[in-house]
Amino acid sequence: MIKYTGPKKIKTAVFISGTGSNLKNLIKFSKKKNSPITIDLIISNNSKAKGLSYGKFFKIKKKVFNFKNKILIEKEMLSVLYKYKIELICLAGFMKILSKSFIRKFKGKILNIHPSLLPKYKGLNTHARALNKKDKFSGCTVHLVNSKLDSGKIILQKKVKIYKNDSVETLSKRILKQEHKLYPAAIKKLFG
Of the candidates 13, 30, 54, 93, which one interacts with ligand GRF according to CB under 6 A? 93
Phi-psi bin for 147: left (phi > 0), alpha (psi -120 to 50), beta? alpha
Q: Is 114 a catalytic residue?
A: yes
Using the rule CB under 6 A, give the single segment among 18-26, 34-42, 96-104, 159-167 that binds ligand GRF: 18-26
State the sign of the Cα–Cα–Cα–Cα dihedral 98, 102, 107, 111: negative
Does position 45 interact with ligand GRF (CB under 6 A)? The reply is: no
| Residue in 175, 52, 42, 177 with CA at minimum distance from that of residue 118 | 175
Shortest distance in whole angstroms from residue 79 CB to ligand GRF? 26
Of the candidates 12, 21, 30, 45, which one interacts with ligand GRF according to CB under 6 A? 21
Beta bridge partners of 60: none
Whole-angstrom CA distances from 26 to 30, 33, 48, 87, 119 are: 6, 13, 20, 16, 24
| Residue in 3, 4, 29, 1 with CA at minimum distance from that of residue 14 | 29
Of the candidates 10, 14, 20, 39, which one interacts with ligand GRF according to CB under 6 A? 20
Considering the complex, state which of residue 109 and residue 114 has its C-beta at the smaller distance from ligand GRF.
114
* Residues of the shown chain interacting with ligand GRF in the complex, contacts defined by CB under 6 A: 16, 18-22, 51, 92-93, 113-115, 140, 176, 179
List residues with catalytic annotation: 114
